[in-house]
Amino acid sequence: MTLPSPHPNSPSAHRSPVVVVGAGPAGLTIGNVLRAADVDCVVLETESRQFIETRPRAGVIEEWAVRGLQQRGLAGNLLARAQVHTECEFRFGGERYRFAYSDLTDHHHYVYPQPLLVTDLVREYADVRGGDIRFGVRDVRLHDLDSDRPSASYLCPETGQRQVIHCDFVAGCDGARGMTRDALPAQQARIARHDYGIGWLALLAEAPPSADCVVFGIHPRGFAGHMARSPEVTRYYLQCPPGDDPENWTHDRVWTELRARLGASGAPPLTEGRLIEKRVLDMHDYVVEPLVSGRLFLAGDAAHLVAPIAAKGMNLALYDAFLLGDALVAHLTKGDGAGLDGYARACLRRVWDYQEFSQWLSDIYHGPASDDPFVTGTTLARLRRLFTSPAAARSFAEQYLGAADAY
Ligand code: RFL
């Protein structure tokens, strides 16, 4: 719902061409693109700078996304410090199967923890490009989005006073738990949802990686994943019932289960360590259509959530941000509205493609734990096909890397 604007002559009113709600990868990238073109914007963020710079999440970034950051002057640290991954490994039936996706596509993945990317993006936006970012804001509200004079307002954390920012556009980048999505008129917005009925225990272990690549354990007891984050920290996943209590998973139970589900002949032992994050994710997806209403443009998880099955969410957030940042600059500096007009359609093609791949991959990860011998049989057939059919392998590699020529 969009509220009428507070009085424009109020002493706490400011003006900025763009207000960005949310300082995640999407919002900060848009802010940086705008500042590089000398377009002012204000980024509003409910959390503190320290919080967003340390919030652990993604790690796998696709090559086109890194190129997009590089073209916008945002990949210096990433290119110097990220690991390059060219292979992954499937483990099933007690055996290991290496999948060298770079040999099939000439593309690779980068691994760079999301908190490091967010740290780079905040520093560049606020400290280098002179961007305005307000941390710790409360009760953000959007007003008059259907007019050509929209505004955003929030409660200032220091004074408790409502501050108003008049603008031309609002970028809703406040993630899956944000409020901008709710500003879309209910009769206009359609939210397509998919619930996998599966939980993942997401773990961060203070331990070096146990393998030199991403490992997928496909096991009758449930899926397990291993993903390097840095030389000191490794992410693991364990399939569990949705809504499970992380406290049900003691240190010993976690490592016993990981050893069982990731075990395979010739596999090196897991390097164990203290668990520094342990949370249950109920795996679900959604897509909001359209992504645009009046002067509000949604980007990233605010617009579409893709469960972390195929490590796609941050990549999609960056894709939206490149398109929206460039389109806002074109409109505000040259009066060229084509990018904004085509924004939703351009984003949604990649979004739906990645959603479909995640669903396909979910069937592979979770099939053998379904207790259904037919599903187990077809899942294992799909898996074997990746290692016997070059055409199937190439197709998988292209989707896993997001490397299709066009969407
Ligand atoms: P974010 O990162 O959630 O940022 C939104 C920001 O908005 C703030 N906020 C508000 N600010 C102002 N007013 C409000 N009312 C607000 N409400 C919220 C929040 O504090 C936050 O700072 O959204 P963005 O920018 O769209 O980025 C999306 C990505 O963060 C997300 O898709 C990825 O983390 C998903 N994901 C992965 N994606 C990948 O591409 N590769 C991966 O390897 C990968 N691994 C993962 C993941 C997500 C995970 N979790 C926790 C769901 C692994 C995990 C475990």
Residue 130 has pLDDT above 80, yes or no: yes
Q: What pLDDT was estimated at residue 186?
A: 87
| 190-247 pLDDT per residue, tens | 999 999 999 999 999 999 999 999 999 999 999 999 998 889 999 999 999 999 999 9
Query: In terms of domains, do 47 and 123 share one?
Result: yes
C-beta of 60 in contact with ligand 1 (< 6 A): yes
Does residue 242 contact residue 198 with C-beta atoms inside 8 Å?
yes
Does residue 114 contact residue 233 with C-beta atoms inside 8 Å?
no
- Mean pLDDT confidence for 350-360: 97
- pLDDT, mean over the chain: 95
Q: What pLDDT was estimated at residue 192?
A: 97
- Give the chain's domain count: 2
- Mean pLDDT confidence for 331-343: 98
Query: In terms of domains, do 19 and 127 share one?
Result: yes
Kindly indicate the confidence band of residue 406, based on its pLDDT and cuts at 50, 70 and 90: confident
Lowest mean pLDDT among 8-22, 101-115, 189-203, 272-286: 8-22
Task: Among 32, 223, 314, 315, name the best residue to mutate to test ligand 1's pocket (greatest count of ligand atoms within 8 A of Cβ).
Answer: 314
- Mean pLDDT confidence for 367-381: 95
Instruction: Return the residue whose CA atom lies nearest to atom 36 of ligand 1.
Output: 58
Closest by Cα among 194, 281, 270, 193 to 237: 281
Query: In terms of domains, do 202 and 340 share one?
Result: no
Q: What pLDDT was estimated at residue 43?
A: 98
Query: In terms of domains, do 173 and 204 share one?
Result: no
Query: In terms of domains, do 176 and 251 share one?
Result: no
Q: What pLDDT was estimated at residue 3?
A: 59
Boundaries of domain holding 216: 95-107+196-283+370-401
Ligand 1 atom with minimal separation from the 300 CA: 26
Does residue 30 contact residue 325 with C-beta atoms inside 8 Å?
yes
DSSP lists the bridge partners of residue 88 as 99, 214
**Strand order through the sheet with 109-111:** 60-62, 109-111, 83-85
Query: In terms of domains, do 176 and 243 share one?
Result: no
- Ligand 1 centroid to 393 CA: how many Å? 30
How far apart are alpha carbons 191 and 179 in whole angstroms?
14
CATH number, domain containing residue 213: 3.30.9.10
Kindly indicate the confidence band of residue 364, based on its pLDDT and cuts at 50, 70 and 90: very high
- Mean pLDDT confidence for 314-343: 98
Kindly indicate the confidence band of residue 2, based on its pLDDT and cuts at 50, 70 and 90: low
Q: What pLDDT was estimated at residue 6?
A: 59
Percentage with pLDDT > 90 across the chain = 93
Ligand 1 atom with minimal separation from the 44 CA: 12
CATH number, domain containing residue 60: 3.50.50.60
pTM of the full structure: 0.95
Query: In terms of domains, do 132 and 151 share one?
Result: yes
